[in-house]
């Protein structure tokens, strides 16, 4: 245990942990935005609601957050290059707090739409900036811990909202989250700008001060030289986004990010969470509210496994195991739902349905929930990481809306078992592609990761490269 704790070096890395704490408070807040529909939507669509929504309006209320992510990620990507990572982090707490105040004080559906839309915009900002900033300030030994902890905080936000709603009103919880979000505004002013961003802007003196604070030591010349060399290799912050297609090692990164992101979102977890309480509404043996609380508590506890293991087991083994087990549970759930819909099962078997959902929550949260964002922030150089995370955000908004729409249409119109089989098929495809494209990044500096990516290339990529080269035939590859 002492050896395990010594790896974290709390005293030397105190500034790194302070930055991680503040950022994770923001991530907790946006996670609560994702958890809000599961317990709030059934109330809003009921006849007794003071703000009554139809099922179509409820679906729009869920989907409006990922849709506004599209705008938020584009704006954030531009601002990251103009004002830096730290300034962006300082700009987020106020509008994020305002999004919760709109929800807490809502007297009409318009207020709810505004709160959800504003939350989606800041959601994009936090997901764009936070992984990039933490990857650039963290030592390799704890970079995986910081990166996966972001999604644990996201999961905590989802879980606590759905647990607290059993003994607190949704409005009271919204006020509480709004207050906690401001903790981000208190901590971020005390952390330095990313040394990578400082060097991208040519500010060597500020980069030196940043590294001394972050490393907790005066001798930082080795780190400074390593980062400076990386900046020279990959260019300044005006690097072109088309480099992701024109340069073969960036294409490798792009295929990896696309594979991880589509697998994560098309596994259907966000749709399952959004409609989880609705699935149990007609249960004769299990309260839908109790089932909802159990699910989110298990989801959060299971997600803690990833930060503890990711820097020990590695990224690739953990996400492959997580995806494989998630696939099995999705198919098992689909089979159970098919049998349930086509026969009169004893109500006691509803506990098996709950168990299947809980197993799915465990398998998904242990790796597939946390690792894609971490890898996306590790494998791209600093001048392109903002664009890469923007792409992930766009995939998030499109895929999340698509899976929610898919769930609603297939669950109610075709059969309750259909969406689970579809999500399982997507996971199988994703697992095969992950095994091909993903490289292991455990314990490596960002510069070492880039060197390995340039030197390796899966066979399947050769055909993809040839097709892309045809598009850019007039521009020679590097």
> Taking the domains of the chain in order of start, what are their residue ranges?
11-471
DSSP 3-state of 366: helix
**Mean pLDDT, residues 432-461 taken together:** 79
Q: What is the pLDDT of residues 83-123, one digit of tens each?
A: 889 999 999 999 999 999 999 898 888 898 899 999 889 98
* Phi and psi torsions of 39, nearest 5°: -95, -25
Q: Which is more confident, 2 or 112?
A: 112
What percentage of the chain has pLDDT greater than the value 70?
88
Smallest CA-to-CA distance from 86 within 177, 236, 196 is with 196
Q: Which token pair is 292? A: 């909802």
Q: What is the pLDDT of residue 240?
A: 61
Could you give the C-alpha distances from 81 to 84, 317, 342, 473, in angstroms and in order? 6, 34, 56, 29
**Mean pLDDT, residues 247-251 taken together:** 79
Name the pLDDT band for 472 (thresholds 50, 70, 90): very low
Residue 290 Cα to chain centre, angstroms: 26
Q: How far apart are CA 66 and CA 226, in angstroms?
A: 38
Q: What is the pLDDT of residue 4?
A: 47
Q: How far apart are CA 266 and CA 286, in angstroms?
A: 28
Residue 287 has pLDDT above 50, yes or no: yes
**Contact criterion met (CB below 8 Å) for 148 and 370:** yes
Residue 139 has pLDDT above 90, yes or no: no
Q: What is the pLDDT of residue 5?
A: 52
pTM reported for the whole predicted model: 0.79
Q: Which is more confident, 206 or 166?
A: 206
Q: Which is more confident, 393 or 441?
A: 441
Name the pLDDT band for 366 (thresholds 50, 70, 90): confident
Least confident segment among 29-38, 182-191, 208-217, 394-403: 394-403
**Contact criterion met (CB below 8 Å) for 34 and 296:** no
Q: Which token pair is 398? A: 């499109």
Which DSSP symbol is given to 380? Answer: S
Highest mean pLDDT among 68-82, 92-106, 211-225, 451-465: 92-106
Q: Which is more confident, 316 or 160?
A: 316
Name the pLDDT band for 241 (thresholds 50, 70, 90): low
- Maximum CA pair distance of the chain? 72
Which residue in this structure is represented by tokens 């992930």? 392
Q: What is the pLDDT of residues 33-87, one digit of tens each?
A: 877 877 777 778 777 778 877 777 777 787 787 778 878 888 888 888 888 899 9
Q: Which is more confident, 465 or 107?
A: 107
Burial of 346 per CB tally in 10 Å (0-12, 13-18, 19+): exposed
Smallest CA-to-CA distance from 150 within 319, 307, 343 is with 307
Q: What is the pLDDT of residue 1?
A: 47
Least confident segment among 97-111, 378-392, 445-459: 445-459
Residue 380 Cα to chain centre, angstroms: 17
**Contact criterion met (CB below 8 Å) for 118 and 102:** yes
Highest mean pLDDT among 99-103, 198-202, 261-265, 384-388: 99-103
Residue 469 has pLDDT above 60, yes or no: no
Annotate 202-268 with DSSP letters as a single string.
T-HHHHHHHHHHHHTSS--HHHHHHHHHHHHHH--TT--TTHHHHSHHHHHHHHHHHHHHHHHHHT-
Smallest CA-to-CA distance from 138 within 27, 19, 42, 238 is with 19
Residue 377 has pLDDT above 90, yes or no: no
Could you give the C-alpha distances from 188 to 20, 50, 103, 185, 192, in angstroms and in order? 9, 39, 25, 6, 8
Smallest CA-to-CA distance from 153 within 182, 114, 126 is with 126
Would you tell me how many other CB atoms lie within 10 Å of the CB of residue 74? 15
Name the pLDDT band for 243 (thresholds 50, 70, 90): low
Residue 411 has pLDDT above 80, yes or no: no
Name the pLDDT band for 21 (thresholds 50, 70, 90): very high
What percentage of the chain has pLDDT greater than the value 90?
22
Q: What is the pLDDT of residue 471?
A: 45
Residue 17 has pLDDT above 90, yes or no: yes
Average pLDDT, the chain: 82
Residue 380 has pLDDT above 50, yes or no: yes
Q: What is the pLDDT of residue 466?
A: 47
**Mean pLDDT, residues 358-362 taken together:** 91
Would you tell me how many other CB atoms lie within 10 Å of the CB of residue 158? 26
Would you tell me how many other CB atoms lie within 10 Å of the CB of residue 110? 11
Q: What is the pLDDT of residue 331?
A: 94
Least confident segment among 179-188, 351-360, 377-386: 377-386
Q: How far apart are CA 333 and CA 420, in angstroms?
A: 7
CATH class (in words) of the domain with range 11-471 = mainly alpha
Q: What is the pLDDT of residue 448?
A: 83
């Amino acid at each position: 245990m002492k050896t395990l704790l010594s790896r974290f070096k709390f005293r030397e890395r105190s500034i790194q942990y302070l930055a991680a704490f503040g950022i994770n408070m923001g991530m907790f807040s946006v996670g609560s935005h994702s958890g809000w529909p599961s317990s709030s939507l059934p109330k809003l669509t009921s006849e007794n609601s003071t703000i009554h929504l139809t099922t179509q309006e409820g679906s729009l209320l869920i989907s409006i957050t990922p849709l506004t992510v599209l705008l938020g990620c584009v704006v954030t990507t531009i601002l990251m290059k103009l004002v830096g990572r730290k300034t962006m982090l300082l700009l987020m707490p106020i509008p994020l707090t305002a999004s919760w105040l709109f929800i807490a004080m809502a007297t009409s559906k318009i207020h709810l739409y505004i709160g959800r839309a504003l939350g989606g915009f800041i959601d994009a900002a936090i997901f764009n900036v936070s992984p990039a900033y933490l990857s650039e300030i963290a030592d390799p030994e704890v970079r995986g811990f910081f990166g996966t902890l972001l999604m644990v905080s996201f999961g905590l936000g989802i879980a606590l909202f759905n647990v607290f709603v059993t003994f607190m009103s949704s409005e009271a919880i919204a006020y509480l989250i709004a207050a906690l979000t401001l903790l981000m505004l208190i901590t971020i002013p005390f952390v330095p700008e990313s040394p990578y961003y400082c060097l991208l802007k040519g500010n060597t003196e500020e980069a030196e001060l940043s590294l001394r604070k972050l490393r907790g030591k005066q001798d930082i010349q080795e780190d400074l030289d390593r980062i400076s060399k990386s900046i020279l290799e990959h260019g300044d912050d005006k690097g072109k986004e088309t480099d992701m297609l024109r340069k073969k090692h960036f294409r490798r990164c792009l295929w990896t990010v696309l594979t991880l992101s589509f697998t994560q979102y098309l596994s259907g977890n966000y749709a399952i969470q959004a409609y989880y309480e609705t699935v149990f509404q007609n249960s004769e043996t299990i309260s839908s509210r109790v089932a909802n609380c159990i699910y989110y508590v298990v989801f959060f506890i299971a997600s803690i496994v990833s930060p503890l293991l990711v820097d020990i087991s590695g990224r690739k083994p953990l996400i492959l195991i997580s995806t494989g087990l998630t696939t099995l549970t999705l198919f098992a759930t689909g089979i159970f739902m098919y049998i349930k819909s086509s026969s009169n099962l004893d109500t006691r078997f509803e506990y098996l349905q709950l168990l299947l959902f809980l197993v799915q929550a465990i398998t998904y949260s242990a790796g597939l929930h946390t690792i894609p964002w971490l890898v996306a922030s590790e494998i791209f150089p600093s001048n392109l990481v903002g664009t890469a995370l923007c792409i992930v955000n766009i995939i998030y908004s499109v895929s999340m809306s698509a899976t929610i729409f898919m769930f609603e249409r297939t669950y109610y119109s075709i059969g309750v078992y259909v969406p689970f089989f579809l999500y399982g098929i997507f996971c199988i495809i994703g697992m095969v592609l992950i095994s091909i494209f993903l490289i292991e990044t455990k314990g490596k500096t960002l510069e070492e990761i880039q060197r390995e990516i340039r030197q390796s290339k899966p066979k399947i990529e050769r055909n993809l490269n040839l097709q892309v080269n045809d598009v850019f035939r007039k521009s020679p590859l590097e």
